[in-house]
Amino acid sequence: MELGYLAGSIVKLAALIGWIYGLLWGLGRPKAWQKAVTIILAFGVIQAAILAKFGDIALFSAFDQGLLIQACTMTMVALGLNLIYGFNGQFSLAQWGFYGIGAYCSADITYRWTSGDASGLLVAGLGTILGALALFLVGWLLKKKRGVPVLSAFTFYLIALVAAGFAAVKLGGALSPLLAPYFGSPEAPGVLASPLALQIVFFLSIIVAGAFAAEVSFIFGLPVLSLGSDYFGIATLGFAIIVKTLLVNSDTILPFPEMKGGRGMIGIPKLTNWIWVFAFLILVIVIIRNFVRSSTGRATLAVREDEIAARAMGIDVAKNKLMAFVVGSFVAGLGGAIYAHYIGFLAPGSFDFIQGYNPLIIVVFGGLGSMTGTIAASFGWIFFLEGFLRVLLGQLGSDAPSWRLVLYPIALLLLMLVRPQGLLGTVEWGFFKDGNNPIGRAREKLSAAVKLKGSGTKKEGE
Amino acid sequence: MASIKTGDTILSIKKATKAFGGLLAVKDLDLELPKGAIQGLIGPNGAGKTTAFNLITGVIPITSGAISFEGERIDGLEAYEVTRLGIARTFQNIRLFTNLSVLDNVRIAYHSHAGYGLGDSLLRSRRYAEKEKELTERAMDFLGIFHLDGLAFEIAKNLPYGQQRRVEIARALACAPRLLLLDEPAAGMNPKETLELMDYIHFIKDRFDLTILLIEHQMRFVMGICEYITVMDFGEEIARGTPAQIQVNERVVEAYLGKGAAKIAAS
């Protein structure tokens, strides 16, 4: 039984890594239809595996599906962190906080919606839209009046954001009774109380959660990113602790009784399924890759390599760090939202900063600055630690699963000793390569034209 | 002063002072840089030469005084803004983006005029594709000027020292500067390489229509290449003039070799 399970999980993990390779390879093909076919196939293969049943035994049990969804959300968070830490060189522990913010934000929206209250969506949606407008407005004004010190700029942004939030609460509060007949309530279901509407609300709640996390990261990152690397790390640790503390006290010091503070939020509709996970996984992969493989992405790398030289090259280092930080946090917010609707129960303990080391470990484990490595490590990590070890050790005795937190650090230590650059170093597959996009093709053509000698055609980082 | 015929002044520093706590690293420095000149900035170690560079490029804020570039005040600007205005620099200890390819090092210098923004890159718009292709081709052509195109895909840290210097200068030129600041470009080079570097600097000056201000300790190099020289000691300017004037200047000899030596040299 143990051996069978061991073989089964190794095969599944290998198959998933193969699936990732295929997906990235296909997405890296030049033609749009090739990409489309890849996406459909990659989706279909897993969907078929989920549906497939041989007698009583499911090929992909509910447990495995759960692992898959967790692996995908972890991938989103870790890819965002890799952008911040791996590509931009900013050691951040705040990623888990943004994950928590995203999870709670979207859970609150859908929870209220299913209990017949549309105000969550209205207030949060209006809040993020007005907040974004306020930030853009202040940014534009500050650009006109140059030379404003960073802390003053921060104050202006903060005031604008608070004002936007206040306006959103007032406006949303005024609008929701007006719109209530259309949205419906538990007593009198309205037009939009249909399952389809719920799916739409779910989608909107994910986007709002991401946007909200991004706005928070902007206002937090603005003053803090100017700190040096270690100090920035400490500041982000502070952020993670603040988020957790606020979540623990969400029903007392924050006006969200439905979040139930430290007791944990229950009753979140379990709307996450493979379609949603896959769609957002692709979205995140595309966002991160398009960011990294661009002029902005190169500037991001330059900031990691040498900030002073980057400045001397005309790169606005502060702005660049902020961009990477906001995009990374946005992605973490999306991941959090998906996770909340998979698990259906949120407790502040899951968003403790200790847990926040998990994506950090994954990013380092997979290879700093390797997007492929991050994905592979996320999948490997979840399937190994949460799946295989938990089940395998569970058969040895009821206390044995605790040993997984001993076994996996040992595995980590060994890997770091053998491969300090991480599992994949900076190697990339297919879609993530510099060589498969138009620039890469131009690059290969040019390299052929200049007739490189020896190892000249190697991609960076090999 | 009379011996220096100034055309248009490209860079003018007036009474620039930089204090680190009580220490005046640069004190009342005046510098007029005529357009198209190769000017040297020399002085013993700790004279404040690199600090002067850092003041010009905005790496550190000025304590008092004024710096103007092409008639525009640039003190108080951020370093990246100074670069975008047309002042590029190299560093005393080479600061390449070591883990990136030579091509990427140059393409990073193009970032501020890449012609597309984050929106274009995220959506992979047509503008992104066009500009990115154009940018890459331009970078390759640019590397070709320096015969570095064969190294375009090499990782910068794998290059030998002399080539790293050349890449660093090429990268600075990719910022399309009109004023180039070189901080000890000949450091660590043997006499042959130094001679090559002199040719190289003349070549880039003519090719890109540059004004060059350089810090250097190798006197043969400085005397051979500079049209004018400013000598600093303890943060202050102690002499300026043509290489011939500087070589016989008493205060300069004194600063480098001490008082006794100056007397011996004079006798």
Question: Looking up tokens 């007006």, which residue turns up?
Answer: A178
The H-or-E segment that residue B29 falls in is: strand B23-34
Answer yes or no: do A442 and B133 touch at CB < 8 A.
yes
Q: Which of A312, A439, A460 sits opposite B100 (nearest CB)?
A: A460
Instruction: Give residue A52's pLDDT band: very low, low, confident or very high (50, 70, 90).
Output: confident
Express each pLDDT in A117-155 by its tens digit: 788 888 999 999 999 999 999 999 998 887 788 889 999
User: What's the structural domain count of chain B?
Assistant: 2
**SS3 breakdown of chain B: % helix, strand, coil, rounded to 5?**
45, 25, 30
Does A149 reside within a domain?
Answer: no
CA A327, CA A80: separation in Å to the nearest integer? 7
- CATH number of domain containing B222: 3.40.50.300
Judge if B126 and B74 occupy the same domain: no
Cβ of A47: how many Cβ atoms within 10 Å? 15
Q: Would you say residue A199 lies in a domain?
A: yes
User: Could you tell me the CA-to-CA distances from B247 to B128, B165, B215 in Å, in that order?
Assistant: 54, 28, 16
B106 min Cα distance to partner chain A (Å): 9
Q: Report pLDDT for A461.
A: 37
Work out the minimum CA distance from B242 to partner chain A, whole angstroms.
Answer: 30
Contact A452 B78 (CB under 8 A): no
- Best of A87, A291, A295, A325 to substitute, by most chain B Cβ atoms within 10 angstroms, is A295
Range of the domain at B153: 99-174
The residue from B174, B195, B214 where one domain ends is B174
Find chain B residues with C-beta within 8 A of A302's C-beta.
97, 100, 108, 111
Residue A276 included in any domain: yes
Is the residue at A134 inside a domain? no
pLDDT value of residue A306? 92
A304 HSE (CA, 13 A, CB side): 24
B chain contacts of residue A299, beta-carbon cutoff 8 Å: 108, 111
Map residue B252 onto helix, strand or coil: helix
Q: For residue A325, which residues of chain B lie inside 8 Å, CB to CB?
A: none
- Whether residues B195 and B237 share a domain: the answer is yes
One-letter amino acid of B161:
Y
**3-state secondary structure string, A241-260?**
HHHHHHHHCCCCCCCCHHHC
Residue B77 lies in a domain: yes
CB-based contacts of B122-127 (< 8 A; 24+ apart in sequence): B122/A287, B122/A290, B122/A291, B123/A290, B124/A290
Nearest residue to A112 via CA among A247, A267, A264, A250: A267
Q: What parts of chain B have a pLDDT lower than 50?
A: 1-6
Q: How distant is the Cα of A90 from the closest Cα of chain B, in angstroms?
A: 16
Contacts of A147 in chain B (CB under 8 A): 76
pLDDT band at A37 (very low <50, low <70, confident <90, very high): very high
User: Apex CA A206: angle with CA A93 and CA A251, to 5°?
Assistant: 70
In this structure, the answer to whether residues B64 and B136 fall within a common structural domain is no
Within-domain flag for A176? no
- State whether B105 and B136 are in the same domain: yes
Same domain for B4 and B124, yes or no, is: no
Q: What is the pLDDT of residue A369?
A: 85
Task: Give the span between the Cα atoms of B151 and A373, in whole angstroms.
Answer: 28
Closest by CA to A343, choosing from A9, A65, A61, is A65
Could you tell me which of A239, A272, A285 has the C-alpha nearest to residue A101? A239
Smallest CA-to-CA distance from A211 within A119, A288, A129 is with A129
- pLDDT-wise least confident of A211-220, A295-304, A351-360: A351-360
Interface of B with A in 8-67 (CB under 8 A): 57, 59
Q: Answer whether residue B92 is part of any domain.
A: no
Specify whether B164 is located in the same domain as B121. Answer: yes
Whether B114 and B155 share a structural domain: yes
The set of long-range contacts for B157-161, using a CB threshold of 8 Å and a minimum separation of 24, is B157/B96, B157/B98, B157/B99, B159/B102, B161/B94, B161/B188
Side chain identity, residue B252: V
Return the CATH number at A12: 1.10.3470
Among A48-57, A371-380, B127-136, the range of highest mean pLDDT? A371-380
| Contact residues on chain A for B121, CB-CB shorter than 8 A | 290-291, 293-297
Q: How far is B261 from chain A (nearest CA, A)?
A: 40
Q: What is the ipTM of this complex?
A: 0.89
How far is it, in rounded angstroms, from Cα A290 to Cα B7?
A: 48
- CB distance A294–B118 less than 8 Å? yes
* Closest-approach residue (CA) in chain A for B133: A439
Distance from CA of A157 to the nearest CA of B (A): 21
Cβ-Cβ contacts under 8 Å between A and B: the total is 145
**Contact between B112 and A314 using a beta-carbon 8 Å cutoff:** yes
Considering only residues 273 to 292 of chain A, which have any Cβ-Cβ distance to chain B shorter than 8 Å? 287, 290-291
Examine the pLDDT at A295 and tell me if it is beyond 70.
yes
Residues B15 and B61 in one domain: yes
**Is the pLDDT confidence value at A213 over 90?**
yes
Question: Are A442 and B133 in contact, with CB atoms under 8 Å apart?
Answer: yes
Place of tokens 């295929």: A22
The angle, 0 to 180 degrees and rounded to 10, between the axes of the packed helices A150-183 and A119-144 is 150
End of a domain among B154, B174, B194?
A: B174
Lowest mean pLDDT among A292-306, A422-436, B66-80: A422-436
The reply to whether B78 touches chain A by the CB within 8 Å rule is: yes
Tokens of B236: 């202050």
CA distance B132 to A298: 12
φ/ψ region of B236 (left if φ > 0, alpha if ψ in -120 to 50, else beta) reads: beta
Is B267 found in the same domain as B135?
A: no
Residue A313 lies in a domain: yes
Whether the CA torsion A272, A277, A283, A289 is positive or negative: it is positive
Interface list for A 113-172 with B (CB within 8 A): 147
Interchain contact A194–B (C-beta under 8 A): no
Are A427 and A372 spatial neighbours (Cβ–Cβ below 8 Å)?
yes
- Calpha distance B188→A251 (Å, rounded): 66
Q: What single letter denotes the amino acid at residue A310?
A: A
The 8-class DSSP code of residue A265 comes to B
**Which band of pLDDT confidence, cut at 50, 70 and 90, is reported for residue A438?**
very low
Q: Which of B83, B122, B147, B155 to mutate to test the interface with A (most CBs of A within 10 A)?
A: B122
Q: What are the φ/ψ torsions at residue B32 (nearest 5 degrees)?
A: -115, 125
Tokens of residue A30, six digits: 């030049």
> B59 contacts in A (CB within 8 Å)?
308, 311-312
Q: Are residues B82 and B184 in the same domain?
A: yes
Note whether B169 and B184 are same-domain residues. Answer: no
Does residue B108 sit in the same domain as residue B41?
no
Position A420 confidence tier, pLDDT thresholds 50, 70, 90: confident
Which residues constitute the domain of residue A241? 2-116+193-449
Show which of B116, B142, B174 is a domain's final residue.
B174
Name the band, by pLDDT with cuts 50, 70 and 90, for residue A305. Answer: very high
Q: Any bridge partners for residue B26, and if so which?
A: B18
The reported pLDDT for the residue numbered A340 is 96
Q: Is residue A443 part of a domain?
A: yes
Report the pLDDT averaged over residues A234-261. 91
pLDDT of residue B261: 64
Q: What is the C-alpha separation between B211 and B216, in angstroms, rounded?
A: 16
**Is residue A178 situated within a structural domain?**
no
Structural domains in chain A (count): 1
Question: pLDDT tens across A151-195, in order?
Answer: 899 999 999 999 999 999 999 888 888 877 777 666 666 666 678
